[in-house]
Structure 1
Amino acid sequence: MNKFSLGDIVRLRKPHPCGNYEWEITRTGMDFRIKCLKCGRQVLIPRRKFEKSVKQIVRRLEETL
């Protein structure tokens, strides 16, 4: 099973310039697309950088279904 999946909410180590730490995963693969839950900004970052910057998984999509 993959560690991250679409719809998961993750907390990153560093805040976004808007001040938010929580992001929703909207795309997985070699690159991850994540969406800021405060301002809605979407960012595409490489998998390696994403995995290093994740502090914790706040909520998994499967838990909410």
Structure 2
Amino acid sequence: QTSCSNIGLNSEEIKIVRRVREEEARQGGWIRIFPNADSWDTYGAFLQFPTTHNLMLHQRLYTDRHKGILP
């Protein structure tokens, strides 16, 4: 099953996005601190080892902040 938000992702990235969305659906009272809508812009530059998965997650979870960038 491929949704529009999964276009351009490899199978590992699709699994990561799916897992994060499933976690979010059952989060209860917990709040994601990274990546969230504002944290990448605020703290992304301070990551010692910025991973492509963190950026990819931010782009897929908060598409409104990346209009025109996604494939």
TM-score bracket for the superposition, by shorter chain length = under 0.3
TM-score by length of 2: 0.26
Higher helix share: 2
Larger Rg computed on CA atoms: 2
When the two structures are superposed, what TM-score results if normalisation uses the length of structure 1? Answer: 0.27
